[in-house]
Amino acid sequence: MGDREITIYNCIEKKCTLRIPQIAVLIDPDKTDYLAELVTIINQTPVDFVLVGGSKLTKNNFSECVLYLKTNLTIPVIIFPGGYEQIDRIADAILLPSVLSGRNADYLIGIQTIMAPKIAEAKLEVISTGYLLIDGRKNSSTLQVTQTKPIAEDDYNTACDTALAGEMLGMKLIYLEAGSGAEQTVNSMMIEKVKSKVSIPLLVGGGINSPEKAIRAIEAGADVIVVGNALEVNPGVLRNICNAIKKSN
């Protein structure tokens, strides 16, 4: 790595280059009843990082949640903002998304413009992310909030071209998102085709609620799988997913 600063992004990228599958857990600060149990499990499993954020937060406990995670975990805590107020200097980094699949200027550049000075002030590592919503056969909260049309689950060309444009625009990650609690995860063909077009790390999330779905996404080319919703129902699923990935690797 030479003199290059070691950042969270460098670590994600390095594991991606080494083809080490990564697992990220998404934590919604609005749903904290299960958090203590989940944190215990995360500390016992090889989860790479946590993402924290939500598109419809009502509890006003974002900073409290970030602090709790930073205090109780040793892995990076990365903000994945669902709204412009979700910034906290205690976090390790922020995954700053632009919803490239949609044509809503607010989510392409609007909220980012509001957030930029606050992120700079908080001195957070910024990981710019090309965010592509793929139809997950559910009217997810991301769809409702962004008011955008997802890319059809078999429209591989649009997804590939959009991801490539994201990379050309300088984005550091591509996130293929079926939406939280999606009925249909991003399919293997979609993951495979997008992965073949871009050289930056590929995150895949939305509806991954079993070891089988996690393995399928990784085998298709996901560098990082993101699991959220399933753990709210049963945090123990995380152990099964991690064990299955370890075995398959």
CB of 228 to ligand 1GP, least distance (A): 3
Of 182, 186, 200, 214, the one binding ligand 1GP (CB under 6 A) is 182
Is residue 198 within 8 Å of 164, Cβ to Cβ?
A: yes
CA–CA dist 162, 229 (Å, integer): 26
Phi, psi of 219 (to 5 degrees): -65, -30
Would you say 46 or 181 has its CB closer to ligand 1GP?
181
CA–CA dist 225, 222 (Å, integer): 6
Would you say 112 or 209 has its CB closer to ligand 1GP?
209
CB of 234 to ligand 1GP, least distance (A): 12
CA–CA dist 24, 73 (Å, integer): 13
Give counts: helices (H), strands (E), the chain.
11, 8
Of 181, 192, 197, 244, the one binding ligand 1GP (CB under 6 A) is 181
Of 92, 135, 177, 223, the one binding ligand 1GP (CB under 6 A) is 177
Fill in the DSSP letter of residue 177. Answer: E
Task: Give the interface segment with ligand 1GP, choosing from 33-41, 83-91, 189-197, 204-212 (CB under 6 A).
Answer: 204-212
| Coil/strand/helix, residue 128 | strand
CB of 142 to ligand 1GP, least distance (A): 6
Would you say 22 or 180 has its CB closer to ligand 1GP?
180
Of 126, 218, 229, 245, the one binding ligand 1GP (CB under 6 A) is 229
Task: Give the interface segment with ligand 1GP, choosing from 149-157, 162-170, 178-186, 236-244 (CB under 6 A).
Answer: 178-186
Return the C-alpha torsion angle 14, 203, 131, 160, nearest 10. Answer: 90
Task: Give the interface segment with ligand 1GP, choosing from 35-43, 105-113, 117-125, 201-209 (CB under 6 A).
Answer: 201-209
Of 16, 26, 41, 99, the one binding ligand 1GP (CB under 6 A) is 26
207 binds ligand 1GP (CB under 6 A): yes
Of 66, 100, 160, 227, the one binding ligand 1GP (CB under 6 A) is 227
Q: What's the longest Cα–Cα distance across the chain?
A: 46
CA–CA dist 242, 3 (Å, integer): 33
Q: CB-side exposure of 149: number of CA atoms within 13 Å?
A: 5
Is residue 96 within 8 Å of 108, Cβ to Cβ?
A: no
State the residues that interact with ligand 1GP by CB under 6 A: 26, 177, 180-182, 205-208, 226-230
